[in-house]
Structure 1
Amino acid sequence: MNEQFHPSDLSDTAPPYELIAISECLHPTMRPPSHDWAYMAAAHLIGSPANIAIASILEETGKLAGADRAWMFEYDADFLHFRNTEEWVRGDVPSHVTDLQQTPVTMIGWLHQWLVTGKAVMINDVANLPRPARALQAEMLRQNDKSVLCVPVFHDCVLRACIGFDATGTKRRWPVDEIHQLARCAKLIGIARYGRAQVDGRRDVVAGNALNGAEPLVHLHMPGRTRGVPLAAIVGLRSAKDYTQIWLKDEAAVLDLRPLSFWIGLLPKSNFLRIHRTAVINISHVTELERHAGPTRQAWTVRLRRFEQPWAVSRPYRQELRSRLGI
């Protein structure tokens, strides 16, 4: 039957049924797997438990992309730590899957700030990363990485994990088409790995930690030392050029040796809100919102618990602040 019909073309002369051979479109000689990574990923995820399927997906995509490593790390329930979970390596390339376990997200903060916005990050030259990526760069150089591709894994609009490739032999760029293919695999992995039951289980871990007094800490990189503080202890943050001043609820401001953009990507949106190009506050510490009518425009400020000096709220962030305060 040579003539093809589109649903909009159906008429009294259309045949009651048609036979279409599907074996040709599935045969590898007709449609190589490199053309449809998502189909391959779905086949693994349907036929195997998620962890086994993910390992197979990393191996196949890593080989197809010419990578030296393919890997996955995922965030813990508190979303302040991450751990390596799966890895495939080519030939005699060293494995590092056991190295980063319960590692503070601050170590990959430069990378995390882009992943959390839904962007893939292709690092063409690890050796020339910017200064805010220094901690991440040191780890990548330790693993002999020349180039790295990172693709976020989301579920229910929340960043859960990241998958990606390493090139350890020479520097390289992965084609945009392959990045899009890997992103579709990431979408399927997110559905399979972080379904309702798994997400509820992660929430149970958070609740259990709170009941046991194990409040997660975020680590400040201060001059001469590193210090862990609970998120709830952070009242506000202000940009200090390449650094950040961080106000803590029981003491004066401390200096963190990373830019405000690092913290904007790290801090959970449920607790923290940007109110100015140079300032972020912990919404739970707001005690008062003031709106002052000036000669040309209205000025907004917020007062934070324990601090007399008000913080300015610029116009682009006012509507979100009102919404978060319920006014």
Structure 2
Amino acid sequence: MRAGVLSGEDWKAVAGWLLDEDLDAGVTRVLGLLGNRHGADRAWVVRYDAAFTFLWNTHEWVAPGILPQLAEVQGIPVEAILWIHEGLHREGRVIVPDVNAMPRRARGLQAELQRQGIRSLLSLPVFRDGKLAFQIGYDAVRETRVWPEAQVLEYEDAANLIARALWHRGSGNGTSFPSADRENRTIHLRSGGGSVAVPVSKIIWIEASGDYTIVHSKGRQRYTERRTVRDWEGLLPREEFLRIHRGAIVRAAAIQRLDRSGGKWRLTLAPDGPELPVGRAYHASVRLRLGF
């Protein structure tokens, strides 16, 4: 074992918890032990499905006074956090000392981390057969911080033990994700001075508005978000949504009418939706989706 802040007795306790019949409770205890010792505000495990298309937060420990996020990070498309995946594959870890200083190309991810109150982030990968199977990481919420190398290495050791235990139990086979029911999946959107959970099934269309986007949902609700249309294209399920213009994405099932007169395509959305232009570059994809 590498030198670190945990004693041999601590590691014996870790092994015992992960061999216990209640593995989920054991994993949470390990996250709490490491999170406390390393000064994290949250410690978490994220698991991928077998197709590497969605991810789920399966285990979480939070320090006293810190809001949990376990229920919020469920069924997230992998495309939504590609910036992290690039770093995990390139560097073997992602360390974000200050979320507010993330690069512009990670703006959508940055907005989500800020929504969760995260000021600094550490993410470590666990690979299986050359593919990401898990991420295990820390959040700093109360203040920015950088974890010392000894702590990062120690957490890597714990990450591999946790992943091995979950795989042995069969939790890593990507076949069952009951908490990520597509029908109930929500996205948190800005509302007043806070945020509100909006079911994905209620989103009708999204339009660009300068550096922001406006989300239109059922009931004529509107939300302004600091995400680009491209960010939304990666975040929303592709089988349900369709980009029709460089500045618009619509729910395919909401398309009521397509007018192609005069060579300028226009879609009408239901119920009582607006008429939206279809960009020439998107004619082919719209044609394929509508089946003509």
Distance 1:161 1:324 in 2: 34
- Structure 2 spans left out of the alignment, 5+ residues: 4-14, 48-54, 89-93
Higher RCO structure (Cα 8 Å, ≥6 apart): 2
Q: Is the CA contact (8 Å cut-off) linking 1:238 and 1:260 kept in structure 2?
A: no
Residue 113 of structure 1 aligns with which residue? 80
- Residue 235 of structure 1 and its aligned partner are, at CA, apart by 1.4
- Residue 229 of structure 1 and its aligned partner are, at CA, apart by 3.9
Pick the structure with greater CA Rg.
Answer: 1
2:146 to 171, 183, 187: 171
TM-score (norm 1): 0.50
Distance 2:287 2:69 in 1: 39
Identity %: 24
- Residue 240 of structure 1 and its aligned partner are, at CA, apart by 0.6
Say whether 1:125 aligns with 2:103. Answer: no
Cα distance per residue 1:79-128 (max 9 Å; x no partner): xx9767245xxxxxx8369731555459xx9x983259844454132453
1:72 to 44, 48, 55: 44
Q: Is the CA contact (8 Å cut-off) linking 1:219 and 1:226 kept in structure 2?
A: yes
- Residue 166 of structure 1 and its aligned partner are, at CA, apart by 5.1
Say whether 1:272 aligns with 2:241. Answer: yes
* Residues 325 and 149 (structure 1), Cα distance of their counterparts in 2 relative to 1, 3 Å cut: farther
Say whether 1:256 aligns with 2:256. Answer: no
Amino acid aligned to 1:273: L
2:275 to 309, 312, 316: 309
Distance 2:176 2:65 in 1: 22
* Residues 53 and 227 (structure 1), Cα distance of their counterparts in 2 relative to 1, 3 Å cut: closer
Distance 2:250 2:85 in 1: 23
Residue 95 of structure 1 aligns with which residue? 63
Amino acid aligned to 1:232: S
Is the partner of 1:263 in helix, strand or coil?
helix
Amino acid aligned to 1:259: R
Cα distance per residue 1:215-255 (max 9 Å; x no partner): 5554431445645443333211011122222233443x624
* Residues 57 and 314 (structure 1), Cα distance of their counterparts in 2 relative to 1, 3 Å cut: farther
Q: Is the CA contact (8 Å cut-off) linking 2:69 and 2:116 kept in structure 1?
A: no
Q: Is the CA contact (8 Å cut-off) linking 1:160 and 1:190 kept in structure 2?
A: no
Residue 199 of structure 2 aligns with which residue? 230
Amino acid aligned to 2:253: S
Q: Is the CA contact (8 Å cut-off) linking 2:59 and 2:70 kept in structure 1?
A: no
Amino acid aligned to 1:163: I
Is the partner of 1:238 in helix, strand or coil?
strand
Q: Is the CA contact (8 Å cut-off) linking 1:216 and 1:230 kept in structure 2?
A: yes
Distance 2:139 2:187 in 1: 28
Residue 284 of structure 1 aligns with which residue? 253
Distance 1:265 1:95 in 2: 31
Is the partner of 1:232 in helix, strand or coil?
helix
* Residues 101 and 124 (structure 1), Cα distance of their counterparts in 2 relative to 1, 3 Å cut: closer
Q: Is the CA contact (8 Å cut-off) linking 1:220 and 1:227 kept in structure 2?
A: yes
* Residues 270 and 245 (structure 1), Cα distance of their counterparts in 2 relative to 1, 3 Å cut: same
TM-score (norm 2): 0.55
* Residues 97 and 72 (structure 1), Cα distance of their counterparts in 2 relative to 1, 3 Å cut: farther
Distance 1:226 1:169 in 2: 23
Distance 1:304 1:74 in 2: 36
- Structure 1 spans left out of the alignment, 5+ residues: 1-27, 34-42, 76-80, 88-93
* Residues 323 and 264 (structure 1), Cα distance of their counterparts in 2 relative to 1, 3 Å cut: same
Distance 1:275 1:163 in 2: 37
- How big is the alpha-carbon RMSD for the aligned residues of Structure 1 and Structure 2? 5.4
Distance 1:173 1:128 in 2: 20
Residue 324 of structure 1 aligns with which residue? 289
